[in-house]
Structure 1
Amino acid sequence: MTDLRDRAVEIYDAFTHEHHDRRTLLRQMTLLAGSATAAEALILSIAASPAAAAQIDPKDPRLVTDRSVGTEGGAPSIAYFAAPRQPKAKLGYVLVIHENRGLTPHIQDVARRLALAGFRVIAPDFLAPQGGTPADEDKARAMIGTLDYDLALKQARAFIARAATQRTGTGKVGAVGFCWGGAFVNRLAVAAGPALAAGIAYYGPAPDPAEAARVSAPLMLHYAGKDARVNATGEPWVAALKAAGKSVEAFTYPGVDHAFNNDTSAQRYDAAAAALAWDRTTRFLHARLDR
């Protein structure tokens, strides 16, 4: 059963990150599971479930949340905001960068978790210039594939610049990203220079190691032990950052899958690894964003 599960995760990862062909996914899963019905059940157990319960209620009275629609970086923007309702001091700002499915309810929940941990949080929807994140995840992944990456980086830098000037903040802004968003945080660290005070990437494919010299922000990088695709890029990236004298902490969690932090995916989520990574993440951010 473990071998079947691991192979199913590999097939699903190839679908979500490479070919995006659902017919190929169904054919391969049916061959693996033995029937179309079993294949559909297997896919559902691996895929993130939009119906999964949030850890933090969107109406939690401890928080103030909002959704803004406007313009950022010269293009349409959408962002979800979360912050403690009654902070006792100025707080650091954190951008939460979404996965390749866009600004989903799960990413909004992560934003609320960070807000309860003591930050002001902005979760941009980088699909806003294309109309915003759709409910159909396959469509969202297709849209991510045609996204203007330079524009997304420009918008992220604009969010950082604005957050750094807010009187409610400490003037320091960090970023946390997951999967596609983890890759984005790495690239934002290259592009943003000293404007980014801290970057944390969860299982995000890394840039060319030659870019390491351009990084200013301290980085924390979380990798899944069974995620060979991402780790093949992460290991050279970490080595290059260290060789360039950059501040980097990298952790690999043995025996867990890509997206181990996403509790809306029954087969991928690993509670122990997620809790440890989260504790490291919040401590890292407080150390670099608090006054």
Structure 2
Amino acid sequence: MKELKKEDISQDIFDLYDDYAHNNLNRRQFVEKLSLYAVGGLTVTSLLSFISPNYIDTLLVQPDDPTLDSQYITYDSPKGGGTIKGLLSQPKANTTKLPGVIVIHENRGLNPYIEDVGRRVAKEGFISLAPDALTPLGGYPGNDDDGRTMQKKRDRNEMIEDFIAAYHYLKSHEHCNGSIGVVGFCFGGWMSNMIAVRLPELDAAVPYYGRQPSDEDAAKIKTPLLLQYAELDTRVNEGWPAFETVLKANDIEYQAYIYPGVNHGFHNNTTPRFDKEAADLSWERTIAFFKLHLEN
């Protein structure tokens, strides 16, 4: 059997996976619907294997990178989950205080991809904190299917408090200069928007394909925003026009990019939804945005 490539997969399969990844289908329903596309030499097993995350071969920054100090810490979240675990990463041998960036995971906990993003942020000269909102339930379980199931059990408002507590932990860290930004993906994109709503003192927010806050909440934002969307992500994009209207009406500073021809999750290099060109460009913009707004 030939090796599957991205161009072998129809957009319908990507849309199906998006429904599954966002809990609109359970695994049995997903596999049943996926079987409809197992034709012409394709099997359900091969399709499932191809579209599922590959965390083994995709790390861009190794956990033991010699230029970084990267370790798990815990911090208190009195209004949220109690005590939250997170990956704290920063450049080694740094003699000056650094801006801080909170890295917020998707709807499945602190998986290897998000840990890798946290280390990527640190490689750019920031101190990063990637919390695991699944900590009160035992933490990321080692696979995304169980992670999604676990995260559904947590209250969203409590998780907001967990990430607000991460902001305060990082802001008061001895190696942080007090300037804090946030970047998040999918659920983390929505969470980034909500932290901007809740914390007017937040210095910068970069939501990737995140659902938008209500009009009432959006009007409260004081934080500069860099909004990253995928053209084919109709589920999330349907909320963008109303959000932009509120941002303009309230003179909220923002930049927005809709990357053509790419799917929700295009930054995630562990699945075939990944688009290198869009991911690289969006990341360049993200780092430049943080340097502009966080470096004193």
TM-score, normalization: structure 1?
Answer: 0.94
Determine if contact 2:34/2:44 at 8 Å carries over to the other structure: yes
Superposed CA offset, 1:99-144 (max 9, x none): 1121011111101110001100000001111111111321111122
Superposed CA offset, 1:18-55 (max 9, x none): 32411111111111223896122222222222323311
Determine if contact 2:171/2:179 at 8 Å carries over to the other structure: yes
Please provide the CA RMSD for this pair: 1.8
- Aligned counterpart, 2:3: none
Q: CA deviation at 1:175?
A: 0.5
* SS at 2:199 equivalent: helix
Alignment of 1:27-66 (within 5 A): 27-34=32-39, 38-66=43-71
Determine if contact 1:212/1:244 at 8 Å carries over to the other structure: no
- Aligned counterpart, 2:121: 114
* SS at 1:67 equivalent: strand
**Structure 1 stretch 2-11 or stretch 77-86: which is displaced more?**
2-11
TM-score, normalization: structure 2?
Answer: 0.92
Amino acid at match of 1:258: H
Superposed CA offset, 1:183-240 (max 9, x none): 111111111222x111100111111123211111111110001111010112321221
CA–CA separation in structure 2 for the residues paired with 1:256 and 1:107:
20
Alignment of 1:159-170 (within 5 A): 159-170=166-177
Which stretches of structure 1, 4 residues or more, deviate above 4 A after TM superposition?
A: 1-4
CA–CA separation in structure 2 for the residues paired with 1:20 and 1:136:
17
CA–CA separation in structure 1 for the residues paired with 2:235 and 2:41:
27
Does 2:128 match 1:150?
Answer: no
Amino acid at match of 2:252: K
Q: CA deviation at 1:4?
A: 4.8
**Structure 1 unaligned spans of 5+:** none
- Aligned counterpart, 1:212: 218
- Aligned counterpart, 2:191: 184
Amino acid at match of 2:254: V
CA–CA separation in structure 2 for the residues paired with 1:36 and 1:152:
44
* SS at 1:260 equivalent: coil
* SS at 2:229 equivalent: strand
Does 2:235 match 1:229?
Answer: yes
Amino acid at match of 1:53: T
2:259 is matched with which residue: 253, 262, 287? 253
- Aligned counterpart, 1:280: 285
CA–CA separation in structure 1 for the residues paired with 2:42 and 2:207:
36
**1:239–1:45 distance in 2 versus 1, CA, 3 Å:** farther
**Structure 2 unaligned spans of 5+:** 1-5
Superposed CA offset, 1:156-190 (max 9, x none): 11221222223322211110000111111111111
* SS at 1:263 equivalent: coil
Name the % identity.
34
CA–CA separation in structure 1 for the residues paired with 2:107 and 2:122:
22
**1:9–1:45 distance in 2 versus 1, CA, 3 Å:** same
Determine if contact 2:218/2:246 at 8 Å carries over to the other structure: yes
Q: CA deviation at 1:244?
A: 1.2
CA–CA separation in structure 1 for the residues paired with 2:152 and 2:38:
29
- Aligned counterpart, 1:17: 22
More helix by share: 1
* SS at 1:114 equivalent: helix
CA–CA separation in structure 1 for the residues paired with 2:7 and 2:156:
37
Determine if contact 1:68/1:79 at 8 Å carries over to the other structure: yes
- Figure out how many residues of one structure are paired with residues of the other and give that number: 289
- Aligned counterpart, 1:91: 98
